[in-house]
Chain A
Amino acid sequence: MGFSKQATMRAIVLGDRDRYVRLVMFVCASISFLAILLIFLFILKESLPAIRQVGIPGLFFSTNWNPNIAKPNAGHYGMLAFTWGTIMTTFGAMIIAAPLGIGAAIFIDQVAPEKMGRVVRRGIELLAGIPSVVIGWFGIILLIPLINGLTGTAGYGVLAASLVLVVMALPTITTLSAETMKAIPIELKEASVAMGATRWQTIYKVLVPSAREGLIIATILGMGRAIGETMAVQMVIGNARQLTFSPFQRTSTLTSRIVTNMGEATGVFRSALFAQALMLLLLSVFLIICIRLVSRERKA
C-alpha cells in the first residue's frame, strides 16, 4: 500500500530529524566543556613564557615582584605576596560574611515573620546585583575615611578590602544557606519542638547540624566570589606590592595586581600576569574539588 509506505518514510524522516536536533542540542550543552578547555589552554599558553623564563619557584614561590616595564626580561615576577593577599583578604571577609550570611539565612527561614523574611530575601537578591565598581566606590567614599579616622592609618589596605568582600560574598552565602535550610524535612523540626525544645535549641541542635554540608558549600562558594572579585578590591586595597600580615597595610591580591599592571605590561611581564590568572584558576578548581568532597560525604 502506497499510503503506508509514505507514512513509514515520513516516520523515518522525522526520526532522523529528531536525532539531528538532539545532536545540535548536545553540541550546545558541550559548549560549556569546550569553554572550560579553551580558557585553561589559552591562560596556560599565555603564561608559558613566564614559567619558562622565571621558573616555577621564582614565579609562584617568591615574593619579589619588581617588573621592568622597559626591559621585561630584567624584572622579577614573584606572586607569592599577592597569593597571600588573596588568601588573607578572603579569610578576613569570611570571618564576618559566614556568620552574618548563615545567620541571615536562619533569620529568613526560621525566625522572621513571613513578610519580613521576604523583605530580607529580596534585599539580598538586590545586593547581589549591585555592580562591583559601585561597591568599590562606596568603599572609597565611606569605608576608607572611616578606617582612617578610627585607626589613623591610610585607610586603604587589607581591612578595607575584606569589608568590601563581605558585601560581595554575603548574597551568595545567604541565598545558598537559605536554600539548604528550606530543604530540611519539616518533621525534624516538629519532632524537636514536640520534645519541648525552644526555637534556639532546635536551630543549633537539630537544624544547623543537619544542614551542615550545605552551609559549608555555601561558605566555600562565597569564598569563590571573594577570591575572584577584582574591581572593588583594586579600588580599596592600596595596590602596594609588599607582603604583609597587618590588616592596615596596603598590599595587592592576584586579581587587583592583574588589573593594576595589565595596561603597561609586555613580554614576560604580561605573561607573568597571565600566570596569576592561572593561579586563580587553580584556586577555583581547588574550591570545586572541596565542594565535591563535601557533597560526596553528604551522599555517603
Chain B
Amino acid sequence: MSDRVRDGRRADRVATGLFWALGLITVALLAFIILEIFGRGLTTALNPKFIFGKPEAIKNGGGVFPMIVSSLYLVVLTLIISLPISLGAAIYMSEYAKKGRVSGFIRFCLDSLATLPSIVFGLFGMALFVVYFRWSYCLMAGACTLAILDLPILLRGTEEALRLVPNSHREASMSLGASKWTTIRQVVVPGAMPGIITATILPIGRIVGESAAIIYTTGLFVRNIPVSPFDTAAPLAGYVWYAQTEGIQADYIKIVNGGAALLLIMVLVIYFLARYLGKRYQEKRLLGG
C-alpha cells in the first residue's frame, strides 16, 4: 500500500469521525435544551394551580390560564383566516398557473415574505390593524398579522400536497366530463386532504411559539379570559417574555420556567401529532387507499 493511499484512508477516518461529531452535536444540543427547560420548569408547568390559575400582576403565585386560552384562540383564529387563502392560492399555483412571469413573481413575493423578520410583521400589524383600523390590541389583529406571516409555509405545504395527487386522477375526472373546478373540488382536494392536514399542523407550532409578531398586536398581559376576537389577549409566548424582561412579580422566575416548559410541551405535542398523521397518510398512500 502506497503512502498516498494510506494517507487518504487516514484522512477518511478522521473526516468520518468529525462528521459523526457534528451530527451528534446537533442532537445533543436539542436534548440539552429540552432537558434543561424541563428540569427547571416541568413541576411548575404540570401544577394545576399554575395551568388553571389567574395571573397576578404583582403578587406571587399567579397562573397562566388566560394566556393558554389566548394562544389556542389565536391558533384557531389565524387558521380560519389563512387556511382558505392559502388553499385558494395553492390551487391557483398547482392547478391553474402556467410556468411564467406571473407565477414566478408570486413565488418571489412568497420568498420575500418568508425571509422578512417577524418583528417587521409585528410593527406592520400594529401600524395597520391596531392603529390605522383602530382595533386596539386584540386577538383579531394578531391573527391577521400571523396569517400573513405563516402564508408562505402554509402555502408551500398545501401546494406540495396538491401536486402529489397523480395526474391520472385529474384526467379520469375530466374525461368523464367534469369541469376543471368540479375536478379540483371532487378529486384533487379530497385526494390531497391528508397531506393538507399535515401541512397545517407545523405552522400551528409556529403560531404557538411566535412572540415578536404578537406582542404589539394582541397584547402582553390580561387577567381575564378573552371572549370576543376583538378582546385584548396575551398569548403564552409573549407573556413569558414579558414576565422575564418587564414583569414585576416576585416569583417571575417560576412563571418563566413553568411557561417555557409549557410552551415546549405544546410544541412537542404538535410536532409529534404532525409526524403521526404524516406517517399514517404515507402508509395509506402505499396501500393505495
Task: Enumerate chain A interface residues (CB-CB to B < 8 A).
Answer: 14-15, 17-18, 21-22, 24-33, 35-36, 38-39, 42-43, 45-46, 99-100, 103-104, 106-108, 110-112, 116-117, 119-120, 122-127, 129-138, 140-142, 167, 170, 174, 197-201, 203-204, 221, 224, 227-231, 234-235, 255, 258-259, 262-263, 273-274, 277, 280-281, 284-285, 287-288, 291
Contacts and interface: CB of A to CB of B under 8 A. Distances in A.
A104 to B, nearest CB: 5
Interface string B130-170: 00100000000000000010011001000000000000000
Question: Which of A38, A104, A203, A287 counts the most chain B CB atoms within 10 A?
Answer: A104
Contact of A116 (B23, B238, B246): B23
A81 B194 CA distance: 49
Given A29-B88, A230-B117, A230-B118, A43 B127 contact: yes
B22 A32 contact: no
Interface string B69-105: 0000000000000001111110111011100000001
Contacts of B230: none
A24 B184 CA distance: 14
B120 interface: yes
Question: Which of A36, A131, A199, A280 counts the most chain B CB atoms within 10 A?
Answer: A131
Contacts of A131: 208-211, 237, 263-264, 267
A168 to B, nearest CB: 11
B248 interface: no
B81 to A, nearest CB: 11
A105 to B, nearest CB: 9
Contacts of A14: 179, 181
Contacts of A106: 19, 22
A154 to B, nearest CB: 16
A198 B11 contact: yes
Given A32-B152, A132-B211, A137-B256, A274 B123 contact: yes
Contacts of B84: 28
A125 B275 CA distance: 11
Nearest to B267: A129
Question: Which of B33, B40, B155, B202 counts the most chain A CB atoms within 10 A?
Answer: B33
Contact of B117 (A26, A30, A197, A255): A255
Given A126-B271, A135-B33, A259-B212, A111 B260 contact: no
B19 A42 contact: no
A224 B48 CA distance: 40
Nearest to A17: B181
Contact of A277 (B119, B152, B180, B257): B119
Contacts of B245: 234-235
Interface of B: 8-9, 11-12, 14-16, 18-20, 22-27, 29-31, 33, 36-37, 40, 84-89, 91-93, 95-97, 105-106, 108-113, 115-121, 123-124, 127-128, 132, 148, 151-152, 155, 179-181, 184, 202, 205-206, 208-212, 215-216, 237-238, 240-241, 244-246, 256-257, 260, 263-264, 267-268, 270-271, 275
A230 B212 contact: yes
A123 B29 CA distance: 9
Question: Which 9 A-B pairs give the minimum distances between C-beta atoms?
Answer: A228-B117, A131-B209, A28-B88, A107-B23, A103-B22, A25-B92, A200-B15, A198-B12, A230-B212
A45 B277 CA distance: 44
Query: Taking chain B's interface residues, is the majority helix, strand, or loop, or is none over half, making it mixed?
Result: helix
Nearest to A37: B109
Contacts of A274: 123, 127
Contacts of B108: 288
B119 A28 contact: no
19 contacts: A21-B180, A25-B88, A28-B87, A31-B85, A100-B26, A116-B23, A122-B275, A127-B29, A129-B205, A131-B211, A133-B240, A198-B12, A200-B8, A200-B12, A201-B11, A228-B117, A234-B245, A255-B117, A285-B112
Contact of A104 (B9, B26, B120): B26
Contact of A32 (B87, B113, B205, B268): B113
A240 to B, nearest CB: 15
Contacts of B121: 39
A107 B22 contact: yes
Contact of B241 (A27, A117, A122, A133): A133
B29 A281 contact: no
Contact of B267 (A116, A130, A277): A130
Contacts of A197: 8
Given A25-B92, A106-B19, A133-B211, 20 more contacts: A18-B180, A18-B181, A32-B109, A36-B113, A42-B128, A43-B123, A43-B127, A100-B25, A103-B19, A104-B26, A107-B22, A125-B271, A129-B209, A130-B209, A134-B209, A198-B12, A228-B120, A255-B119, A277-B123, A281-B116
